[in-house]
Amino acid sequence: MTLRALLPALLLATPALATPALADIAHPAAADMPDAIAAPETPGIAAAFDIRAAHAHRDGRTVTFHMTTGGRAGAETPQPAGALGGAPVLGYVWPTSLDPAAVGFEGRTGILALAATRHPDFDDTPLNDENGDGDLGNDGAGWHSHWVVLTPTEPCGDGALAVRDIPDGAAPRLPATWPGLPLFIDSPGYTPLFDGAEISVTVGFADPEILSGARYDGVTAALQVNANVHAPLLCVTDVFDIASGDLGLPGRLD
């Protein structure tokens, strides 16, 4: 099933996050990024998640994914739930046409997406110390990166998406930096960078040949950990904005 076919399920009711646009932030014009997916203002959502452009550029085996917003990117923080079960997650997400095998997952298992996320209730980057305090286990509240594989997951809602679960006893192929959760999720340690209205993440690929012609889009979204913590573990609960408007993945890496 294509991302375009999944669009009706993705467009869930979206509660507004009350953050005003910041007049002092410079917003790069789409004309300055000729290959960008330009997006109009979306009323009723937090400015930090109002996508104005999504763009990616390739330099050999590395790709930098960008997203420009209508406010200060990264300004929003989820309200802690106090436990892993029910924990909220906020994210900037770049769905791609790449096979999950491109970054070390079992192939043909869903939609490979790069995500920058923030969730104060848990830390899913056990190999990284994002806040530099010498503790590897207290960094979930800061923005960090993941590769995830998304699939339609009925328990999350009719046709809704989730990060693909790993069933008990299964042993799929996973990246070397898999954080140990029963999910198709990787914690590669790529640092999200924020510059006013823009967030960017630079990632590397072992095989640059797979990048030619790859397609991408930009999405801002909320996710939530299941109260039972598994089966499913992490559902997409709200889609705030979609760069293309229809998840057609119009962006291309050449």
Give residue-wise pLDDT tens across range 119-159: 999 999 999 999 899 999 998 999 999 999 999 999 999 88
CB 213 within 8 A of CB 70: no
Would you say residue 17 has pLDDT above 90? no
The residue count of the chain comes to 254
What is the band of 163 on the pLDDT scale with cuts at 50, 70, 90? very high
DSSP E strands: which ranges in 19-71?
Answer: 37-38, 51-59, 62-69
Distance CA 73, CA 79 (A): 17
Round to whole Å and give the CA distance between 221 and 1: 20
Three-class DSSP category at 159: coil
Query: Who wins on pLDDT, 118 or 9?
Result: 118
pLDDT exceeds 80 at position 191: yes
Is the pLDDT at 13 greater than 70? The verdict is no
Q: Report the candidate in 252, 251, 238 with the shortest Cα–Cα distance to residue 10.
A: 238
Burial of 20 (0-12, 13-18, 19+ CB in 10 A): exposed
Per-residue confidence (pLDDT) for residue 246, from 0 to 100: 93
Q: Of the candidates 114, 94, 116, which has an alpha carbon nearest to the alpha carbon of residue 103?
A: 114
Cα–Cα distance, 196 to 190 (Å, whole number): 19
Of 146 and 21, more confident? 146
The pLDDT of residue 32 is above 60: no
Structure confidence at residue 33 (pLDDT): 61
Identify the pLDDT of residue 35: 81
| Per-residue pLDDT reduced to its tens digit, 223-232 | 999 998 888 9
* Residue-averaged pLDDT of the chain: 88
Q: What is the pLDDT of residue 254?
A: 78
Taking residues 161-167, report their average pLDDT: 96
CA trace torsion 129, 134, 137, 138 (10° rounding): -90
Mean pLDDT score, 70-85: 96
Q: What is residue 237's predicted lDDT score, i.e. its pLDDT?
A: 97
Query: What pLDDT, on the 0 to 100 scale, is given for residue 14?
Result: 28
| Cβ-contact 131, 206 below 8 angstroms | no
In this prediction the pTM is 0.88
Q: How far apart are CA 175 and CA 170, in angstroms?
A: 15
28 contact partners, CB below 8 Å, separation of at least 6: 53, 68, 197, 198
